Structure 1
Amino acid sequence: MSHSRGGSGGGRRNRGQYFGHKNSKILVGDKGREVLENINENSLVIKQFRVYAAELDSKHDRYEAVVKLSRDITIESKRIIFLLHTFDKESKRDAVLGEAKTRLDVLAKTLFKSIAQELDGQNPFQYLRAYTAGIQEYIEAVTFYQYLESNKLDDWKDLERSLIYVVPCEIKSTPWDGALEPAAYTSREIRTMLTPHEYILGIADLTGELMRKCISNLGSGDIASCFQTCNFVRSIYIGFLGCVGSSGKEINRKLYTLKQSLIKMENVCYTVKVRGSEIPKHMLADVAIGASNEYAAEDDEGYHPF
């Protein structure tokens, strides 16, 4: 056994060893420098690879620019969601909703327009992962605003249309009687792609904010809105059950979180309904929230997310 370890076929110990004069070893850097010096820049193969390199560099730079825009969208969307959580009285409703609407419109007209300009003429599916986090957070903020304003959600196509922009386009002038005609301008549409998949993921995140709003309304004494919000989230959950088996892992993961939020809301509403008459109003919120954590989350009938 010792002979096999130290013999000529000993593997790891002999790897990388060079026999002969020590100056005969060729360094990789010297070899690479020699190859670069002998490259024929007029070769069609080399020219084509230069084109590929420039194309990849341009794609990577564009991808990073979209990632930065998505990060800014995420930050501003979170701030808008926080703003929507601040009003707890009807007197503050119009002011808060008005400010949130203005900031959402600015977000759509600036950062999302910049994404549309970056991806103009490109395949948007190659860059979807670069801004998926930002657009999901934006959908969460928009739908949260829609629910607080009208207790319903608009169609996702309406949101898609809000991300379409009209930009001027110059038409190249052509010679006419020895002179160039003045340049003419027209308009064309550019858009930030919004897929139904991203919209569904944003709706799943919305349910977490609705759960927090439900608990907040209970603390302020608005019990009726707690039941209304719980029923709304339950209808969303029923719709999501139709995606089981035909959706990806990400939707299944968010569906599990949605279910936990719904269970907490249902337990709160159950406690308020059953024990609400025997608990003082100023203690109702604390008792209901504390009791909601005591109930075990039972498996839904026939549903297995993973």
Structure 2
Amino acid sequence: MATNSPEQKNTRMASLHANDGAKKARPVLRVIKWLFLLFFLLIISGVGVFAYYAKDAPSISTSKLQSGGTSSFYTTDGKFLMSLGSQTRVYAKDSAIPQTLKDAVVSIEDKRFYSESLGIDPLRIVSSFLTNVKSSSTVAGGSTITQQLVKLTCFSTASSQRTLSRKAQEAWLAMKVEREYSKDQILEFYINKVYMNYGTYGMGTAANYYYGKSLKQLDLAQLALLAGMPNAPVAYNPYLYPKKAKYRRDLVLKAMYDNKKITKKQYLAAKAEDVQKGLKKHTTSTESKLRKVDDAYIK
């Protein structure tokens, strides 16, 4: 009777182990294949839903992007109450906007602004989603400066309007704006579009209202204050709420320092500056008291 050599036994055992390994690997490969197929179907479905909502997006043009807000308010009996509009708006062209202000806006609002080519930032969207899920509330936003510009131009800023269809249209228009305009043009539109309290739109108008100066005449701390105000223009009113205004201004300065746009010496000097330094004195506080109440409703 023939006997198997040790080499033959080892070969047979190796073959049996290989067959067992292959059998065990098949279910894993099957799962991976189904997961890949599911992921592919989700991508296709997502593109389809995006296209379905995006097709109804409103038109957007240079004139719309450059325009300021205009609204008139009346009492219930039809008496004119106040006007918020662009008739007193100081539109700041790109050449009149200091680089320091651009750096401040980008640092606090969208630090990857210059490297984004789509107008949207997928990494920021995912990051803000995870942050909000972790905190069980909306504490972080995923909108780029371009998306914010589109929102201010074409849509309501009310949280109730943050629907899937609206976000899809906003993203589509942001990509369109990104294709048709340069980064400096987009920043120019944004800086002139934001609401800055007291019925003023645009940071050029705000520079004139708060300081009686042009943007290029303001120092680092003052520009940082203006850059941070659009986030909550009523809450960060330097006349009424200097502590909150300083808090927001210092956040902007820290973002600029972290983004390597200012030195540590500049950061510390600007942070130490009185937040009310250089503020223009208005003849009456009546308007400030009125805005303290009505700006919340207007916003």
Length-normalised TM-score, structure 2: 0.26
Length-normalised TM-score, structure 1: 0.26
Higher relative contact order (CA 8 A, sep 6+): 2
More helix by share: 1
Task: Compare CA radii of gyration and give the structure with the larger one.
Answer: 1
